[in-house]
Amino acid sequence: MAEGEFALATQSLELALTTQAEWIGDHDLYAMLADAAALQRDEMALRRYAPLLEELALRYGHLLYQAIAHRAWGVAHRLAGETTAAESRLQQALNIFHSLGTRWQLGRTHFAWGELAAAQGDIVAAHDHFTQAQNAFAAMQAAPDLARTHKALAELA
């Protein structure tokens, strides 16, 4: 998704928060907003939506959304230079996604961890996480994510 598309999607999702609908809950919207913020690397939006998502995901016992919240927090912590907190949140996300068997979510989380490792200058760990992301995306034929991961691996060299 291009930057302008993210902005339009975010605006639409935020507008949806102001309307009542039986078919979608705020937790669904916060999950999408937190994911969009993570993909945009928007720390302010992450710090706005991750706690709201996490609160509702915990209230409803929604494991998938709890893991998405952990990943969103992990990205926010990485952007703030809070390495230990980022690693902790990403590991929690990986644990849940692994237990749920969600390959795409696992791939996205390994990609986020690859970015964290690369930012720390740990090329070996970055390569490992990007490769795990690549494998998950390739198995699903998730072309945009696979292309982004190929690019990240190429930039490590």
Q: Do both 79 and 3 map to the same domain?
A: yes
Is 127 part of a structural domain of the chain?
Answer: yes
**Same domain flag for 74 and 20:** yes
CA proximity to 152, closest of 120, 109, 115, 122: 115
Its pTM stands at: 0.86
107 and 62 in one domain?
Answer: no
Domain hosting residue 43, numbered range: 1-83
Q: Amino acid identity of 89?
A: R
Tell whether 39 and 78 lie within a shared domain.
yes
Q: How many percent of the chain have pLDDT more than 70? A: 84
How many structural domains compose the chain?
Answer: 2
Indicate whether 94 belongs to any domain.
no
- 121 is a domain residue: yes
Quick check: is 93 in a domain? Answer: no
Encoded tokens for 65: 């959304």
Does residue 90 form part of some domain?
A: no
Dump pLDDT digits (tens) for 98-145. Answer: 999 999 999 999 999 999 999 999 999 999 999 999 999 999 999 999
Same domain, 70 and 107: no
Q: Which residue, among 25, 23, 36, 10, has the nearest Cα to 108 in the 3D structure?
A: 36
Q: What is the pLDDT of residues 74-95, one digit of tens each?
A: 999 999 999 999 999 999 999 9
Q: What is the DSSP string of the chain?
A: --HHHHHHHHHHHHHHHTS--SS--HHHHHHHHHHHHHHHT-HHHHHHHHHHHHHHHHHHT-HHHHHHHHHHHHHHHHHTT-HHHHHHHHHHHHHHHHHHT-HHHHHHHHHHHHHHHHHTT-HHHHHHHHHHHHHHHHHHT-HHHHHHHHHHHHHH-
Retrieve residue 75's tokens.
């990205």
